[in-house]
Structure 1
Amino acid sequence: MANEVDIDPPQAGRVGRERFRESRSRKPTPYARRSRAEAKRVGRVLERHCDFPIPVEPVLVFVGVTELKAVVTQLDVRVYQERQVSALAPLSGVLTADQVEQVYSFARHRQAWNQA
């Protein structure tokens, strides 16, 4: 599951432990906190319907942001600009092909998420 957020580029921003703050804005947005909560929710829903643990990691990808800084203490949410997404490619998977198919089979059905 992913949330899309529109930010009028070009902008700079900073991701703290819980929130993202645009350089032009005084009010921070709790993207990091929401990303962690959504990852937990997705993991719970998938594990409820599969017979094996499913690791889910929160990721934030900012598109069109010219400069992005993440605090050093931000360790549990991966933070990328769009041009850095390729850094995810070398990560190895932890599920077998059969497990991936089982997760996909369940996750693609809209009804699976209605009561999540």
Structure 2
Amino acid sequence: MVDLELSVRPGRGCTVLEVHGELDMATAPQLRDALQRLIEAGDRHVVVDLADVGFMDSSALGALVVMFKAFREVSGRLSLAAVQPAVRTVLTVTSVDRVMRVHEDVRAAEADVPVADDTTVR
């Protein structure tokens, strides 16, 4: 069993959640809880850095989709970056990549973060 490591760091106009390990039934709750804590802390634009994730199953995918909706409900955005081939296959087969923004790397995701504007962000 591979342990899951999550670390949060400030990004450019967003918060980056770095994920290290495998995302499966055992670790999906940790991912969901970490993202929920970010929402509760007031983060509205979060990029999940999946550069060090070689495997993701349906339970982890479900957790991402649930949290994607949770961010949307608070006028936020959850996007993915640096998705590895095996994980990209899961996103493509399930069409999640058509709903959630998937970027080549964190820098590209940061460049896509909407600029905060008092008239559009509430």
Q: What TM-score bracket applies, with the shorter chain setting the length?
A: 0.3 to 0.5
TM-score for both structures, normalised by structure 1: 0.38
TM-score for both structures, normalised by structure 2: 0.37
Larger radius of gyration: 1
